[in-house]
């Protein structure tokens, strides 16, 4: 596949939507793009969660809306988007994944559904 761009949300980086808006024409020329949702304050969120990553404690609704829009646009333009989400982003990477899936119109995954069949 070669080299693909990686956009990071969190820490010292500008808001993903700003980067995407400024460079979307170039980004759409790659076969894939990676979006990493890292979180802004690792120490702060670790104190808030007690390092238990089972709930969203810092929702980023506006940014998740923007990420879903970017993913939709990228898929329509050709690049395959890959999302990597850290627990430090909202407090629970699995729950953040579900929040993005909902925004993209995917059904919610029920981990117990396979066990019942």
Instruction: Report pLDDT for 35.
Output: 95
Both structure tokens of 57:
């404690």
pLDDT tens digits along 4-60: 999 998 877 888 899 999 999 999 999 999 999 998 888 889 999 998 999 999 999
| pLDDT value of residue 114 | 58
pLDDT for the residue 4? 93
Over 60: is that where the pLDDT of 115 sits? no
- In the chain, the N- to C-terminal Cα span, in Å, equals 39
Q: What is the pLDDT of residue 66?
A: 95
pLDDT band at 71 (very low <50, low <70, confident <90, very high): very high
pLDDT at position 90: 95
Mean local confidence (pLDDT), 101-116: 74
CA–CA gap between residue 14 and residue 25 (Å, rounded): 18
pLDDT at res. 33: 96
């Amino acid at each position: 596949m070669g080299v693909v761009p990686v956009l990071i949300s969190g820490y010292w980086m500008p808001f993903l939507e700003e980067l995407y808006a400024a460079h979307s024409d170039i980004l759409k020329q790659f076969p894939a793009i990676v979006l990493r949702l890292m979180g802004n304050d690792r120490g702060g969120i670790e104190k808030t969660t007690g390092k238990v990553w089972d709930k969203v404690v810092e929702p980023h609704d506006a940014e998740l809306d923007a990420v879903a829009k970017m993913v939709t646009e990228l898929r329509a333009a050709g690049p395959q988007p890959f999302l990597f989400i850290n627990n430090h982003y909202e407090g629970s990477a699995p729950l953040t994944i579900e929040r993005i899936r909902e925004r993209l119109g995917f059904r919610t995954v029920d981990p117990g559904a396979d066990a019942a069949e």
